[in-house]
Amino acid sequence: MCGIVGHIRSGGQVDRSLFDQMRDALAHRGPDDAHSHYLLDGRIALGHRRLSFLDLTPAGRQPMSNEDDTVWIVLNGEIYNYLELRADLIRAGHRFKTNSDTEVLLHGYEEWGMNLLDKVKGMFAFGLVDLRGGKVFLVRDRFGIKPLYYRHDRSGLVFASELKAIMVDPQAPREIDFSAFADYFVYRYIPSPKTIWKGISKLAPATYLTYDIHTGQTTFSEYWVVPHGKRKRNEQELIHSFGAALDRSVQLHARSDVPVGSFLSGGYDSSAVVYYMARAQAKPETFSIGFSGWGQSEDQYARIVADQLGVPLSTTVADSSSLELLDIMPDVYDEPIADISIIPTWLVSHLAGTKVKAVMSGEGADELLGGYTWQKDFFAQRHIPLGQRLRQYIKGEKIDTVSYYAHAMAMGRFDKAELAAMFTEGYHQYIAPDTDWFYRQHYDERLSPLQSIQKMDIKCFMGELVLTKIDRASMANSLEVRVPFLDHDLFEQVLSTDERTYFKPDITKYLLYENIKSHLPKAILDRRKQGFVGPDSYYMDINWYCSILDQSKLVRDGIIRYEYYTRLIAGQEHWKLWKLTVMEKWYRRWS
C-alpha cells in the first residue's frame, strides 16, 4: 500500500521542491521508500511513497515505466490476480523485469488498453501517463477501497491519495465549499465528487478520468456497475459456490512477501475471514478492540474465536479518555467524517501497525448478504400480506425508499428544515433543494426492494463512509487493510441471483452462515449483529460536548446559531452533537 501524487502542468515546469513536499505529506502511507520522476522536460511529475509488500527489492520502486519509457504509472493498492494476468501477458510476448503487480498493470495497459480494468481484481487507485497517446488516466477501484483526489483547472491537473498532499501547494484552493459542508451533516461524510474544498474533487469508485495532455480536457468513464438480477439458482449450489469463491478470495488477498494478519471482532465476517486464513495453513496475528466497562465488548468474543482457531490475539481497550483522540482526526481524515467508530478503528489499526504491515477485515459482507438491520426491516415492511398492502395503498401509506434509507443512515437526522435551523441566514443558500440528493442518485426503482437498499449501501454507506474510515485510520498507522469480501466476482455471483435465494430474514447472512456454521463456536453463531461502535454511553457525555462547543469557532464565525447549539444541549441530542463536534474540530484545524 502506498501514497501517490502527480502534477501535470499545462505550461512551465513543476516546482520539484514543492512537489517532493507534497509527496512526503503522504509518508505515513509509505514509510519504506520515496521517489519522484519528471517527464516532458519537467512538465509532468509523478511521486510515490512505498509500503512494500511484493518484490521488496529496488526493482519494485515507483514511479515505474515500460521498456521504452513511454508509459509510466504510480499505484496505490494491490492487484490480487497479478500472477494470473502476468502469465497471460507472458504468453502474449511481454517480458517482465520485476515481480511486482505494478508492472502487470503497465504491460496490461499495453496489451488491452483501459479494457485492462475488466480483468483486474484488487483495491487500487493509480495514475497512468501514456506519452505516445498524450493521455493521463486516473483510476479508482470498483468499490472505492482506495482514495483518489484531484484538482483540475487551467494550470493543469494535480492528483493525490489524500487531500493533505494537494493542500501543501499554496496555489490549492482554500475556500470551503459550504454546500459540501451542509451535505456532511446529512450524510456523516461528504459525497463524491465533492470535497470540503471548492475546486478539489474526489474520483468516484469504479470510474476513471482521462486527461488530454495537449488540450487539458477531461472525460469520465464508469467501467463497472453493481450487478443486479433475478436469476434462479439452486440454493445448495449457490452456498457451495459462494464458499469456494470466498475461500479463493481470501487466498488471493493473502499474497504478500510479508506476513498478513487480520482484524477480529468476534462477529460473523471477521471470524469467517480468520477461519479461511487458518484453513489455508496460515495462523495470522489477529487484533481486536474492547470498551471498558461494557458487557458486550467485542474483544471477549474475539477471544472465543481466536482460541478455537488457535491464532494469536492482541487487544486494546477504549475508555472515555479515548475521545481525546478526536483532536487528531482532522489530520487523519482531512475532511470531516462523523462515523462513530473513527476512534476505535484508529486504535485497533494503531495496535495492528505495531506488529504487521497488513491485515484482513470483514467489510462488505453486510452489503453483499443483507446483514444490516435496516435491510432486514425494509424487507419486512415490503414483503407483507397482500391485504395489508392494499389497506396501506388506500390510506396513501406508500413507503418512500429514499426517505426510509435517509432516516436509517442519519444517526441524528438533518433535513432541510434542520439545516435551516442550524445555519445562520447567510448560509441558507448552500442547503440543497433535495438534501437526500446523493441517496436519490443511487436509488434504482427498477430493483427489488432489498436490492435497491443494497445498491445504496454499496455506493453510499460503504463506498463513501465505511471504506474512507478504514483506509485513513489504517494508513495513518502505515497499515494496509485488505477486504476479501469485496471481490467483484462474489458480488456478481450473489447479486445477479433472486434475493430470496441468498437472503433469509431469520438467518443472518445466510450464504456465509451455511459455510461457517460447522467451524465456528455456537456463541459466535448465535450472536445478534452488533456494529463496531461501542456502547451508546461512550458518545453521550454532554459535559464533554459542552467543553468543546461552549467556545465554538463555528458559532463565533457566524456559521452556526448559538441558539441551535444550546437547543441540542438542552435536548441531549448526542448524535447531532457528535456531528457538530467533529465539524468543529475540523474547522478549528483547517479554516
- What amino acid is encoded at 511 in this protein? L
Distance CA 589, CA 591 (A): 6
* Cβ–Cβ under 8 Å, residues 302 and 286: yes
Grid coordinates standing for 221?
A: 468513464
Query: Are 326 and 579 spatial neighbours (Cβ–Cβ below 8 Å)?
Result: no
H/E element holding 45?
Answer: strand 44-50
587: nearest Cα among 560, 565, 547, 554:
554
433 cis-preceded (ω within 30 degrees of 0): no
Distance CA 434, CA 533 (A): 29
Asked if 195 contacts 201 with a C-beta cutoff of 8 angstroms, the reply is yes
Alpha carbon of 299 to those of 160, 265, 275, 305, 537: distances in Å? 36, 6, 17, 10, 18
Q: Are strands 218-222 and 201-202 parallel, antiparallel or unpaired?
A: unpaired
Q: Which three cell numbers stand for residue 458?
A: 454499496
The catalytic position among 1, 2, 166, 554 is 2
CB atoms within 10 A of CB 470: 23
34: its cell numbers: 520515496
Q: Which residues contact 572 (CB under 8 A, 6 or more apart)?
A: 540, 542
Helix/strand number for the chain, H first, E second: 26, 17
For cell 438534501, the residue is 435
Q: What are phi and psi of 505, to 5 degrees?
A: -55, -30
Using the 8-state DSSP alphabet, how is residue 560 labeled?
Answer: B
CA gap 316, 342 in Å, rounded:
15
Q: C-alpha angle 183/189/194, rounded to 5°?
A: 65
Place of cell 460447522: 518
The arrangement of strands across the sheet holding 122-130 comes to 64-65, 71-79, 122-130, 135-140, 207-212, 218-222
Residues contacting residue 556 through CB under 8 Å, at least 6 positions apart? none
CA distances from 237 to 233, 370, 493 (A): 7, 19, 12
Q: Is 460 a catalytic residue?
A: no
∠ CA 294-295-300, nearest 5°, is 100
Residues, the chain, total?
591
Strand 122-130 versus strand 135-140 pairing type: antiparallel
Cα–Cα distance for residue pair 364/483, rounded to 1 Å:
8
Cα separation, 216 vs 261, in Å, equals 43
Going 523 to 536 to 504 to 459, the CA torsion angle's sign is: negative
3-state secondary structure of 119: coil
Active site residues: 2
